[in-house]
Amino acid sequence: SAVISQKPSRDICQRGTSLTIQCQVDSQVTMMFWYRQQPGQSLTLIATANQGSEATYESGFVIDKFPISRPNLTFSTLTVSNMSPEDSSIYLCSVEDQTVIGELFFGEGSRLTVL
Amino acid sequence: DAKTTQPPSMDCAEGRAANLPCNHSTISGNEYVYWYRQIHSQGPQYIIHGLKNNETNEMASLIITEDRKSSTLILPHATLRDTAVYYCMFSTGTSYGKLTFGQGTILTVHP
């Protein structure tokens, strides 16, 4: 299993500002994934973060709005840029189990409220 | 996108079996069925997955129909702590964790 730590756990932000969320894993992993969960909704994959290359974004998500860094095999950041109230969500980092394909471990999430 | 159909909510008495259905009629032959759950204010948790055969682990059992168009997750003795949103998904598994979460089933276990 993998233990994932996210910071901040929650934050209240002003419209127009940007916030960077950090994700730290206790073991080296090939890929890290960022999901968004809007209030009362299911999870939506934002992007896949690969070490040493640019992140791969899903339809509807762009790098300018959600820049991602992956400097090493245990760490990634997601920035939510130029925030609006519509960005109020829980952002979750996840990694895939190294032995069970499709088994993802999730962090506890970062709950952002944009005023 | 991989689409599944689940009932929006279900109730279950504590100690009884909870049977959660899922329809995945568009599943391909090489795609696995995955089940996750999300307890309130926590990240999703993997439960079980299967391809063709029924599967069982310490958390649950997974029954997949012969045509693979539907499956049932069984929690044999539900407890109050099993109250959560349960998500059924399918994936080749080789897409490196690209799982498409549907709306899930809110399971409420009551005393």
Q: Which of residues 46-75 of A touch B (CB under 8 A)?
A: 48
pLDDT at B97: 54
Helices (H) and strands (E) counted in chain B, each on its own, are: 0, 9
Largest distance between two CA atoms of chain B: 41
What is the per-residue pLDDT across A18-53, written as a single tens digit (0 to 9) for each? 999 999 999 998 889 999 999 999 999 999 998 888
d(CA A46, CA A24): 18
Residues in A touching B100 (Cβ below 8 Å): 45
pLDDT at B27: 87
What is the per-residue pLDDT across A52-106, written as a single tens digit (0 to 9) for each? 888 999 999 999 999 999 999 999 999 999 999 999 999 999 998 777 777 889 9
Q: Using alpha carbons only, how large is chain A's radius of gyration in Å?
A: 13
The answer to whether the Cβ–Cβ distance between A30 and B96 falls below 8 Å is yes
The answer to whether the Cβ–Cβ distance between A103 and B102 falls below 8 Å is no
Cα distance from B78 to chain A (closest Cα, Å)?
22
Mean pLDDT (whole number) for A3-32? 95
What is the per-residue pLDDT across B49-68, written as a single tens digit (0 to 9) for each? 999 989 999 999 999 999 99
Q: Residue type at B98?
A: K
Q: In what order do the strands lie in the sheet with A4-7?
A: A4-7, A19-25, A75-80, A68-72
d(CA A85, CA A83): 7
Cα distance from B98 to chain A (closest Cα, Å)?
8
The answer to whether the Cβ–Cβ distance between A45 and B102 falls below 8 Å is no
**What parts of chain B have a pLDDT lower than 50?**
none
In the predicted model, is pLDDT for residue A1 greater than 90? no
d(CA B17, CA A110): 33
